[in-house]
Structure 1
């Protein structure tokens, strides 16, 4: 009889201790496998699922994820989520057998109500997968079950995420297609997308993400009914509605109680307070590349598909108006000085004096600029700077409203009042000229000492610059909207003065199946 050494005794003793734990773990795994297998068999009545094993399914799921990585949006997020959750088919277990996935598919199938196409959310493909999985004899082997389950789970997850993102954030990222887009715009992140994996009631969730904005609903109803605008074909009307529905899905809208909003195609400014317009005026904006409306959403050439803005176009942005400068000095930009000021000075030696423009060289005032031979001064050899003193001739008028932005634009008065009587008011170098600057000052500052000072200084004969700060900064939004519902719920349409509709439409063509917009 072999005598046990102390080491062997210890090994046997350890084995006896670990055996129950091993048996318990083994039973737990079997129980885990059998539970999922039992659920699937009970729901499908397909004997194949009696042999279903979660670990084997996980391996197949990994392979399917790997094979389809390049074909789905947000693939890295989706892959990471399932890896962290043991590749559990949550959408199948929680939403297939209670009809939730069919409900979701019905919403996808009606995506055209939003100007989108059901193919973007794989509606037909998802429906076929659901029918195949729930049919008793369609799945013949457990390996086929693994593959079809993985494909269904992945398609459901991807489609619901894409649908949710499209309705809540839009299909296109405006920062990717517009060169002068500086508006704060929220995009979906992992915290947003992970919500779809925790849906309890699919219909309630899908109802909750439908856009509720009255503007959106007005345009949506027009799209559904085939509305045709006066003087525009039905097809072009549809395309205008499509691009503006997409804009309304972007998360860049004002959320403050009081704000200033400029709509470039409308050449208009509104001050909104508690949802109502309290001040409204005409404005002039920067020159655009489609001011004659030569290119429309029906007829345009390939060069219009990419955003190539006119150098004077007003940028799209949001910021905070923090102060005004009454009787401002205009520091004339070098581009304007080279193309306009020097040219005019060469024609008329007294042009600078008549316009009250001072000339500086190396930061020193030039005493007799009329003695300079401006005809020989070009943008290549000029070291002059130009500043227009306050006064009636100042191009900024009597007041400018200041807010931080990368484009050095602002809202301001102008001595050139005749432009406000024109229909086409894309005439500035990029800033926004105000039809009623005093009215805006009164709305922002309110009646009181500060406004009285502003009014007095604007009327002064020998003005000096005065900077006055708002006690509370007021948000300003410079936007671009070519179709909206007015106060009477009548749809208003405006020409695409900067050609931004065309740029957006072309990118929608690239991102969406052709059937959705043709």
Structure 2
């Protein structure tokens, strides 16, 4: 496809954006809406004395900020505790294990009647359920290369969930609100309900948990790429507007990490500053300086400082390693989404071929769409910029979240449930954690090394 026809195709697709996108782009950005905290009622700071029930008509609570107490203790009636026990007994529907939540002990405490023992145990069970349903059960050391920091504990604090549950008496309903909103979570739950095979059930459970590692609400506008599927989806509301095949990092040190970042702009006709591992390590600097004709034909320019340091930049053009666009999404891993001149690679089934960055097909279409939908340019401006051949960075008014995920089971772009190859062997530690005892006080951030990708265009 020529540049002219490619841009025409991209423009046509951008024009085909549904009316819902045009309408929603005019609305204020609301990626992760805050949840209003209910009025305090029946929860108190852990370690504090319970209020004197005989002297109050209602349970009271100390006025403390929700984030100050991750392990609140509430006052539980037998009816509320029985409702909690019913949730525990049915928690297998969510891919979790009832045995993690002390069903026998809770039943005995209910039979013994209201009091400190029931308050303490029911509160502990409730907290565990909140943490596992909201944040995921898998400990951080089993989430290999998982660099997403889930905001949900801050947006939906345990304290406020317990308050709402005890105030309304709808224990199950308040816990159900914690489930991921993405339709793939519901699809995996439905698959779990009809699956008897133990191995498949365990894989479903692992991927249900992976959804809990992400923000519950991904936002109305976002990009999501599932690395093992080699696919990128452009999503508005609950509709996938476009999907594209991708190329991802090779297994090993250049495997693509899992991230939640923000697209701040679109770079049309990018330049590529070649890393020193190629300039010096592979001798490209000397080659460019020593062979000006070859360098010009391949779009390279070079400069050499007085101390001998060589800088090589590949100019915009058909052979540029980043292709004709990249999405500007600053992050310490130096991972971004970009075009590639090697279009034939999209025809392969196994596309773990890059040095970590994500290459996408129909990149011109994606770039024009993002520029228009992000209100960084009009349709005419975006097409003109793309066709100019000149480096141009278009800043977006609407910043789009982008989620780089790793699901080995889920619905494909046609809505069919499928398994995807575990190309980085990341299933094993998650599956093992499902068999191990529940880990409390889990870390929210990984301590794995951040490795900046040195060769994003390669």
Q: Contact 1:183–1:252 (CA<8 Å) still a contact in 2? A: no
User: Hey, what's the Cα distance between the residues in 1 that align with 2:296 and 2:337?
Assistant: 26
Structure number with the bigger relative contact order (C-alpha 8 A, sep ≥ 6) is 2
Taking the TM superposition and a 5 Å limit, the aligned residue runs for 1:204-353 are: 204-210=170-176, 211=179, 213=181, 214-226=183-195, 234-253=197-216, 255-288=218-251, 310-337=252-279, 340=282, 342=284
User: Hey, what's the Cα distance between the residues in 2 that align with 1:191 and 1:414?
Assistant: 41
Give 1:116's match in structure 2, choosing from 96, 100, 104.
Answer: 96
Q: Contact 2:233–2:241 (CA<8 Å) still a contact in 1? A: yes
User: Hey, what's the Cα distance between the residues in 1 that align with 2:413 and 2:155?
Assistant: 38
Q: Which has the larger radius of gyration?
A: 1
TM-score normalised by structure 2 residue count: 0.70
Question: How large is the RMSD of aligned CA atoms in angstroms?
Answer: 3.4
Instruction: Look up the SS of the partner of 1:390 in the other structure.
Output: coil
User: Hey, what's the Cα distance between the residues in 2 that align with 1:182 and 1:149?
Assistant: 42
> What do the CA deviations read for 1:215-239 (whole angstroms, capped 9, x no partner)?
2222122222225xxxxxx333222
> What do the CA deviations read for 1:191-231 (whole angstroms, capped 9, x no partner)?
7222325633676231232237432222122222225xxxx
**Residue 167 in 1 paired to residue 167 in 2?**
no
User: Hey, what's the Cα distance between the residues in 2 that align with 1:387 and 1:278?
Assistant: 35
Instruction: Look up the SS of the partner of 2:436 in the other structure.
Output: helix
User: Hey, what's the Cα distance between the residues in 2 that align with 1:254 and 1:106?
Assistant: 26
Q: CA deviation at 1:100?
A: 2.3
User: Hey, what's the Cα distance between the residues in 2 that align with 1:92 and 1:356?
Assistant: 67
Q: CA deviation at 1:285?
A: 1.1
Instruction: Look up the SS of the partner of 1:100 in the other structure.
Output: helix
Q: Contact 1:450–1:468 (CA<8 Å) still a contact in 2? A: no
Which structure dedicates a bigger proportion of its chain to helix?
A: 1
**Residue 156 in 1 paired to residue 125 in 2?**
no
Aligned length: 369
- Residue equivalent to 1:429: 355
**Residue 418 in 1 paired to residue 384 in 2?**
no
Instruction: Look up the SS of the partner of 1:478 in the other structure.
Output: strand
Q: CA deviation at 1:81?
A: 2.6
Q: Contact 2:180–2:215 (CA<8 Å) still a contact in 1? A: no
TM-score normalised by structure 1 residue count: 0.63
Q: CA deviation at 1:328?
A: 1.8
Q: Contact 1:260–1:270 (CA<8 Å) still a contact in 2? A: yes
Residue 450 to residue 216, structure 1, CA distance change in 2 (3 Å): same
User: Hey, what's the Cα distance between the residues in 2 that align with 1:190 and 1:267?
Assistant: 31
- Residue equivalent to 1:357: 300
Instruction: Look up the SS of the partner of 2:256 in the other structure.
Output: coil
Instruction: Look up the SS of the partner of 2:48 in the other structure.
Output: helix
What runs of 5+ residues in structure 2 fail to find an aligned partner? 1-42, 60-72, 373-377, 440-458
User: Hey, what's the Cα distance between the residues in 1 that align with 2:280 and 2:246?
Assistant: 26
Q: CA deviation at 1:431?
A: 1.3
Q: Contact 1:313–1:429 (CA<8 Å) still a contact in 2? A: yes
Residue 363 to residue 83, structure 1, CA distance change in 2 (3 Å): farther
User: Hey, what's the Cα distance between the residues in 1 that align with 2:407 and 2:53?
Assistant: 45
Q: Contact 2:139–2:433 (CA<8 Å) still a contact in 1? A: no
Q: CA deviation at 1:504?
A: 2.2
User: Hey, what's the Cα distance between the residues in 2 that align with 1:128 and 1:392?
Assistant: 72
**Residue 194 in 1 paired to residue 153 in 2?**
no
User: Hey, what's the Cα distance between the residues in 1 that align with 2:175 and 2:415?
Assistant: 23
> What do the CA deviations read for 1:305-360 (whole angstroms, capped 9, x no partner)?
xxxxx2212222223322222222211123344554559959x9787565333343
Instruction: Look up the SS of the partner of 1:391 in the other structure.
Output: coil
